[in-house]
Structure 1
Amino acid sequence: MTCSPDDFRAAMRRFPSGVAIVAAGSAPHRAGMTATAICSLSADPPQVLACLNRLSSTCRAVEDARFFSINLLATSQLALARIFAGLEGGVSADQKFTAGVWRLGVTGAPILEDAVLTFECALVTAHPASTHNIVIGEVRHITGEVAEDALIYRSGVFGRWTGLAVTQPHLS
């Protein structure tokens, strides 16, 4: 028996995820998108993965530029998340980068100046998987000093993480 796509989407919506903008390219040919399918892959060497729709301009820009950034958004950057997710009509491609303060990182990838955390990555490989590519990047540089909570997405709603006020033993 196979899970239906609708059941899978409904279940995954309940899985909380950090919200980031994946960005690549250089002006006027930058592309970026809001993404929640991002995770660490390896600490040695430091690698991350992001799942990007194969037909998106961002996926093409990552593969063309060979360098990209993953910018973890703060709770105050909800408007940016919506713009880069295409939820604010009429804003496309390089125009998205007029929102927020963007600069070139050490790899040449566009990075969000006040992201909670930014990973600058060199593309290692992109594996096709159905409608998406699993993009693996070797982390070349990390920045981030913003103390604000990271933006979270769950059940179609943006929010913030709140720790429990319970004393727990240290897990090692």
Structure 2
Amino acid sequence: MTSESPTPKHAQESSSGGGALVLDTLSADDFRAIFRRHPAGVTVVTADAGTGPVALTATSVASMSADPPLLIFSVSSSSSSARILKDANTVVVHFIGPDSIEIAKLGATSGIDRFADSTIWSRLPTGEVVFDAVRTWIRARVVNRLEASGSTIVIAQAIESNYTAAELDQQPEREGLVFMNRSWHQVGERSAII
């Protein structure tokens, strides 16, 4: 016995007046619901374009290339950090673990001065802001920005980190932090299934 699956909504095609094919799109609610259930690593991005630092919690950071070392992330134009991130030449991407979740919460809270507590951050010799409690960060030079439907996609080349690969290999394995379904989740050895 065979069963046929219904045609997915996104694959349904219709013909418009000029003979061109028009593909339906997934609704914004459906799209958000799917990604809300997809675990994403947690980072905090800081930048300063000369008018004061900004910070935002981002789950969109991804490795784009290892050689050259490029990373990518997006920022919504509605974010209070968007204007500075559009002007900054460099950013610092902080990789957040459960031990520094307060930094992630700080970057995710709107309407506050994220730098009011000057004991939790400092400036690198090159001027960028870093949160001192995070386990790893990458300083990166912005090499491109793309505008896409109310967001800015930032592509940046990694130029410095607080640890080398050899130093990271010497550290004990630590738990990771992901955001899924509107809540924080800790992942580590006990959550591994293979």
For this structure pair, what is the TM-score category when the shorter chain's length is used for normalisation? 0.7 to 0.9
Partner in structure 1 of residue 57 of structure 2: 34
Retained in 1: the 8 A contact 2:57–2:104?
A: yes
Letter in 1 for 2:175: D
Partner in structure 2 of residue 120 of structure 1: 139
5+ residue gaps, structure 1, are: 167-172
Whose radius of gyration is greater, 1 or 2?
2
Secondary structure, counterpart of 1:63 in structure 2: helix
Retained in 1: the 8 A contact 2:49–2:84?
A: no
Partner in structure 2 of residue 58 of structure 1: 81
Identical-residue share of aligned pairs (%): 26
Letter in 2 for 1:113: D
Change (3 A) 1:27 1:98: farther
CA deviation string 1:131-162 (max 9, x = no partner)? 11110111010125675423211111101113
* Residue-pair matches, total: 161
For 1:138 and 1:53, the matched residues in 2 are separated by: 21
Letter in 2 for 1:139: A
5+ residue gaps, structure 2, are: 1-23
Match of 1:75 among 95, 98, 114: 98
Partner in structure 1 of residue 114 of structure 2: 96
Q: Normalising by structure 1, report the TM-score.
A: 0.83
Retained in 2: the 8 A contact 1:105–1:120?
A: no
Retained in 1: the 8 A contact 2:144–2:155?
A: yes
Match of 1:24 among 47, 54, 77: 47
Partner in structure 2 of residue 111 of structure 1: 130
Q: Normalising by structure 2, report the TM-score.
A: 0.74
Partner in structure 2 of residue 149 of structure 1: 175
Partner in structure 2 of residue 169 of structure 1: none
Please report how far the alpha carbon of residue 67 of structure 1 lies from its aligned counterpart in structure 2 after TM superposition.
0.8
Retained in 1: the 8 A contact 2:176–2:188?
A: no
Which structure carries more relative contact order (alpha carbon 8 Å, separation 6+)?
A: 1
Root mean square deviation, CA, Å: 2.2
Partner in structure 1 of residue 109 of structure 2: 86
Secondary structure, counterpart of 2:26 in structure 1: coil
